Structure 1
Amino acid sequence: MEFTSREDIDVPIEQVFEMVTDFEVFERSALRRGADVSRLDSLSQPGVGAKWAVSFEFRGKAREVALELTGFDRPNELSFHAGAQGVQADMKIELVALSRTRTRLQFWTGLTASTLSARLLLQSLKLARGTLNTRLSKRMANLRRDMEDRYSRMS
Structure 2
Amino acid sequence: MKFETREDIEAPIDYAFSQISDFAVLERSLQRRGADVERTIDKTPPAPGIVWDTAFDLRGKRRHLRLEMICYEPPTLMRFAATSKSLDCDVEVELVSLSRGRTRMALAADLKPRTISARLMVQSLKLARTNVTKRFEIRTATFARDLEDRYLRRA
Query: TM-score range with shorter-chain normalisation?
Result: over 0.9
Question: Which SS does the other structure have where 2:48 is aligned?
Answer: coil
What TM-score comes out, normalization by structure 2 length?
A: 0.96
What is the rounded CA distance, in whole Å, between the counterparts of 2:33 and 2:131 in structure 1? 18
Unaligned runs of 5+ in 1: none
Aligned to 1:138: 138
Give the Å deviation of 1:128: 2.2
Do the aligned residues in 2 keep the contact of 1:86 with 1:114 (CA within 8 Å)? Answer: yes
Aligned to 1:9: 9
Aligned to 1:69: 69
Identity of aligned residues (%): 44
1:32-47 equivalences under 5 Å are: 32-47=32-47
Which 4+ runs in 1 deviate beyond 6 A?
Answer: none
Unaligned runs of 5+ in 2: none
Give the Å deviation of 1:28: 1.4
1:72-91 equivalences under 5 Å are: 72-91=72-91
Q: Say whether residues 1:26 and 2:4 are aligned partners.
A: no
Do the aligned residues in 2 keep the contact of 1:85 with 1:118 (CA within 8 Å)? Answer: no
CA-based RMSD of the aligned residues comes to: 1.0
Do the aligned residues in 2 keep the contact of 1:53 with 1:67 (CA within 8 Å)? Answer: yes
Deviations 1:17-44 (A, max 9, x none): 1001001121111112211111111312
Aligned to 1:148: 148
What is the rounded CA distance, in whole Å, between the counterparts of 1:81 and 1:42 in structure 2? 16
1:17 partner amino acid: F
Q: Say whether residues 1:59 and 2:22 are aligned partners.
A: no
